[in-house]
Amino acid sequence: MNGVANDSNGQANGVKKTSTQLQIIDENQHFTQELSQSMKDEWHLADSGFNYNLVAVFGSQSTGKSTLLNRLFGTNFDVMSESARRQTTKGIWMSRGKDMNVLIMDVEGTDGRERGEDQDFERKSALFSMATSNVIIVNLWEHQVGLYQGANMGLLKTVFEVNLQLFQAARGKEKTLLLFVIRDHVGATPLANLANTLTADLDRIWQSVSKPEGLENCSINDYFDFMFTALPHKLLLPEKFEEEVIKLRERFVNQNHKDFVFKPNYSKRVPADGFHVYAEGIWDQIMSNKDLDLPTQQELLAQYRCDEIATVAFEAFLGKIKGFRQPIEAGKIIEGLGPQMEEIRNTTIKQFDKDASRYHSDVYKRKRNEILNKANSQLHAFYLGQLKNLSKKAITMFNSRIQEKLKGEGYDFAEVVLNARNEVEDYFKKNAESIVLTETDWTYDEEITQLQEGIDEIAAKSRIEETKKMINGLEKAFQAQINEFVTLYFKSPTPDMWTKIVNKFQEVLDKTEQQLLKKAKSFNSSEEENAKSVENLRKRSWQQLRKKIDDELADNMFLLKLRERFEEKFRYDDEGLPKVWKPEDDIDAHFRKSRDDVI
């Protein structure tokens, strides 16, 4: 079962021993449920965000891995007894380094007698270390350099292969530093020569690794960086050993050090408060991925990989389409939206196909449909938004077209509306069709119906307004004619004046009614509407005539007309010329005659 060990008080290189250590994976390969609590309550890292790092160590059993970690980081991992020479670290233990936001993982040694030929756990724990750690310390003796097993080259080859399969999407973005610490270095062989030997071995291993499609020419440096250092013999040169360990610690704590190990691209970008979920998920993936030791359970691997590939592809997809949202929500129409959406979606699917198609066929097809449906769902919102904006623009176009045509004279209203309707409906259908994507069931039937209803509403409103304007125009013209002939008849009244007024009124009214019925045809008015319009015209026309006559017969107007008539008779002769009065003229008689004529 998992365990928790408390540190004892003590000093190592002047570094005080740090806090509680936790066995996160036990020797039975069970993951602890206490990591979240330790991150929060014991190590106080849960609120650190991305401001933390993780270091793991692996190497052969009894090479002093735990001792090295305790010296470097002030931890208190169990160390091997110099006399017993037996395995002490079982499973994977974790603690926090003293005075640093660094998690330290002490990994069970390889080639252990206790596990014998069963290397399943050591390989899984090594892959777990690579999947979670920023820096991995590879601890080995100087005399093991150049030996395939002693230098863990066989284990590294397996880890490289599966790492490529599981984490290929991070190529060139997230790396892991492999820090080789060569122990008991006596100095006979310079460190540079030892580093060259290890580098050559690593390159040979990488060349022999089976690489996924598309990564055939990738370099080991796309995924890993390497550093090499050496430490003197701990027993023969204890003071020198401690001195070099202190120097090595500087590379973990001093950001200004030229060989500072925690570079930004080594970070796995996992927030500290979610690390326990991430770590357990990685371990579960490793436990279910039998490709670490046997090519089995490919469907589980496909499930994991296709999900991971789909996530990466869909994140890129979302990044590409986010620019559509703001203009569409602002009511703008994006030119070429359909081809753009089609291209982005197809590129996403092609990216998924390229990386996922080699996995289990049924899982791949199911996940492909899922990401296709997710992409279509995201794009459908933009499709509906674009349709909405197209409809608004079409309505605006329709209204603009008919208003422009109705400004002129002699237009046919029905023809104006029909032409404008055909134009905007063609515009809408053409643009709507251009944003319907393949492999979708998108339609715009409802939107075209709503557009037609909007057009009908505007046309009906315009019809009412134009009919009113037409009738008002006819009534104004009618009023002008009435005013003209009534004024004329009242100016020169005759005994049959009223008969003339009525006859003239009927004549003008008949002509106005004919004009009304003629123009009403272009508005597609019904017989009932025409009859109602004529009836209203007659009523208002008679009212206009009556009002004009009343105005003419008003007292002030009537007296004014009598005065004008009298002045005309009295001051002007029969030929309309001003009279020139002579002394012998009888002015009083002429006055009485003019008055009598007027009365």
Q: What is the 3-state secondary structure (H, E, C) of 470-511?
A: HHHHHHHHHHHHHHHHHHHHHHCCCCCHHHHHHHHHHHHHHH
66 is in an annotated binding site: yes
DSSP secondary structure string for all residues of 219-234: -GGGTEEEEEEE---T
pLDDT of residue 2: 57
The HSE-up count of residue 194 (CA atoms within 13 Å, CB side) is 25
Q: Is 61 annotated as a binding residue?
A: yes
State yes or no: 132 annotated in a binding site: no
- Strands 53-59, 102-107: pairing is parallel
User: Residue 16 in 3-state DSSP?
Assistant: strand
62 among the known binding-site residues? Answer: yes
d(CA 122, CA 57): 12
Instruction: List the pLDDT tens digit at each of the 599 positions of the chain.
Output: 455 555 443 344 433 444 688 999 988 889 999 998 999 999 999 888 778 999 998 777 666 788 889 989 998 887 755 444 444 557 899 999 998 999 999 887 655 444 444 567 777 887 788 778 889 998 888 888 877 665 567 777 766 776 676 566 556 567 789 999 998 888 888 999 999 999 998 988 888 887 877 788 888 888 889 999 999 998 889 999 999 999 999 999 999 999 999 998 888 767 687 788 778 877 887 887 644 332 333 455 567 667 878 998 999 999 999 999 999 999 999 999 999 999 999 999 999 998 777 667 788 899 999 999 999 999 999 999 999 999 999 999 999 988 888 777 777 788 888 899 999 999 999 999 999 999 999 999 999 999 999 999 988 888 778 778 878 888 888 888 888 888 788 777 778 888 888 898 888 888 888 888 777 777 767 778 778 888 888 888 888 888 888 777 765 665 666 666 666 666 766 666 777 777 777 777 777 776 766 66
Beta bridge partners of 141: 183
Contact residues for 7 (Cβ-Cβ < 8 A; gap 6+): 17, 18, 19, 20, 21, 75, 76, 95
Q: What angle in degrees, to the nearest 10, is found between the helix axes of 445-491 and 413-434?
A: 160
Res 175: pLDDT: 79
CA distance 429 to 433: 6
> In sequence order, what are the residues at sequence separation of 6 or more whose Cβ sits closer than 8 angstroms to the Cβ of residue 201?
146, 148, 151, 153
CA distance 227 to 180: 6
How far is 333 from 390, CA to CA, in rounded Å? 7
In 222-342, the DSSP E strands lie at 224-230
| Residue 538, φ and ψ in degrees, nearest 5 | -65, -45
Cβ-based neighbour number of residue 68 at 10 Å = 24
How far is it, in rounded angstroms, from Cα 579 to Cα 292?
Answer: 134
Tell me the domains of the chain and their CATH numbers. 4-294 (3.40.50.300), 302-443 (no CATH), 461-553 (no CATH), 558-598 (no CATH)
State which H helix or E strand residue 198 sits in. helix 191-208
Q: Is 59 annotated as a binding residue?
A: yes
**C-alpha separations of 503 from 316, 453, 510, 542, 546 in Å:** 85, 48, 11, 13, 14
Tokens representing 317 are 């997809």
Is 462 a known ligand-binding residue? no
Residue 50 per-residue DSSP state: T
Torsion from C-alpha of 125, 210, 281, 376, nearest 10 degrees: 170
Instruction: Count the alpha carbons within 13 Å of 135 in the hemisphere toward its beta carbon.
Output: 24
Say which residue the tokens 């209204």 belong to.
Answer: 399
Strand partners, 25: 31, 92
Q: Which residue has the tokens 């077209």?
A: 401
Residue 65 counted as an annotated binding residue: yes
Write the CB contacts of 15 (distance below 8 Å, at least 6 apart in sequence).
71, 73, 74, 98, 99, 249
> What residues does 178 pair with on adjacent strands?
136, 226
- Return the structure tokens found at 227: 């550093």
Q: Which amino acid is at 551?
A: D
Q: How far is CA 577 from the centre of its chain?
A: 92
What values do phi and psi take at 586, rounded to 5? Answer: -90, 90
**Could you identify the residue written with the tokens 């109602």?**
532
What pTM, to 2 d.p., does this model score? Answer: 0.48
452 CB-near residues (< 8 Å, 6+ apart):
425
Alpha carbon 584 to chain centroid, angstroms? 109
Q: Cα(518)–Cα(512) distance, rounded to whole angstroms?
A: 10
For the chain, the distance separating the N- and C-terminal CA atoms, rounded to the nearest angstrom, is 134
